[in-house]
Amino acid sequence: MALANPGGLVTRRATSSDCTELAGIDSVAAAGDHARGVSIRRWCEQGVGTHLLKATEARCTTPKLFTSTNVSNHPMQRLRQFGGRSPVGLLHGLDEGDPELFYRCPNIRLRGRSDHG
């Protein structure tokens, strides 16, 4: 697997046309919760995933912040790549048959300081 672009994924911003597929993989929406489907549509239109990741990075007080997702979680991988992040490691054994892919998020406020730890 090429770490710069695992699996040749294409990244793009989610649109309202993606909502049906996203609702299909969300267990609450897939179980028939109409309100959850409406929420997913709103989240796609407002870019909530990107907003949450940026907010997390902005509040980080350590020199390094790592996020991870399963190799099978392609939507999260696309979100991380859309945010300009590349995978830095792969860990086998957490979820049998589905390795965990790790991303390092540099802390903007601490950039330029020594990067120990």
pLDDT at 93 over 90: yes
User: What are the structural domains, with CATH classification, of the chain?
Assistant: 13-46 (no CATH), 61-117 (3.40.630.30)
Q: Which two tokens stand for residue 79?
A: 């979100």
| Percent with pLDDT over 70 in the chain | 76
pLDDT at 10: 63
Tell me the pLDDT band of 90, cut-offs 50, 70 and 90: very high
CA distances (Å), origin 81, targets 43, 75, 101: 18, 10, 12
Nearest to 72 by CA among 6, 3, 28, 2: 6
CA dist 43 and 79 (Å) reads 13
pLDDT category, 1, cuts 50, 70, 90?
very low
